[in-house]
Structure 1
Amino acid sequence: MPVFDYDPPDRFVAGALGQPGARAFFLQARAEGRLTTVALEKLQVEALAGRLDELLDEVLRKSGGTAHVPALAPADLADNGPLEQPIDEEFRVGTMALGWDEEDAKVVIEAQEIVDEDDFEGPEPAVLRVRITAGVARAFSQRALRLVAAGRPPCPLCGQPLDAAGHICVRLNGYRGGEVAS
């Protein structure tokens, strides 16, 4: 089982390639000349960002405000740069885990390779493990949420993504601008 361990990374970001509606999403970690890129789904990026903010809010709440956890992403930690090239995907993410290392005051993120549940004899799944400060985690979350929001706009009626080629809205019973959808 390869473990890609970054403690701490020089850079840890979520990014996407392609046009809205056909984007591929990635996590990238870089440190000491190493670069690891893993692929994941848009919903996984959104869930990771949301859970990171929830975890940090909970750490701050439980500490009574004494933990070194910023309430918002520090502006000096913002990373708006593109994904680093080349994009060589190590694996596709299946499950993710988050934790708070109280001793080091760091967030631990683990992204595990997707596995075939029927393959009991296969190798152990690969893991990307990143340990980052609370400020870096807030900045990561802010970028990831902007990335997800930059996709196709939602339909005002049903909330499904609108395509440039049209949209079959379930709230209009399959009608599209007066035409029957096929």
Structure 2
Amino acid sequence: MKADRPVLVVTDMQNGFVREQSVHIVPMVVDLVRRWREAGGDILFTRYLNYPGSPFERFFGWSRLQSAPETDIVPELQQYLSGGTILDKKIYSPFSEDGAKLFEQRGWKEAYFCGIATESCVLKGAVDAFERNLTPWLISDASASHAGPEAHAAGLLVARRFIGPGQVIRGADIPASILPVAREQ
């Protein structure tokens, strides 16, 4: 773990969030994680855990993602979990008390966010990083919404307003010094 290297935050790539509207990013996220690992970078996988009586249950009537297999990270990413850190969270952001300590302990000052859902958990993580004076990047083509493309687009619009228009990038825009250019397969 190199404190001077950024962290890739893979947000809530869980069975319960990967649906018809979001499944298209799974190969992109898997490739990004594979390449990030090959480059020796740190990876933080977040996993949202809903619970009985949560605000999601009370205000949205939403009681999913309370147990496996919905809470499990998608099978395509399972092989990479041992090489990363898994952060269980009960809020949108990875900056729970435990998550904030983890960022501090690891010395992560720059974070690249991807995953599900662009307009909620991915966005909130990037905004919270910004508000902690870290450098957030939101990878637009490695993020999606289980609510569909309109919610994804709304999340990107709000992200540009919250963290800066230049902080919303595509995977191909990640500097080669951090993530070498993908080789043809």
- Bin of the TM-score, shorter chain as denominator length: under 0.3
Q: Which has the higher helix share?
A: 2
Alignment TM-score, normalising by the size of structure 2: 0.27
**Structure ID, larger Rg:** 1
The TM-score normalised by the length of structure 1 is 0.27
Which structure carries more strand by proportion? Answer: 1
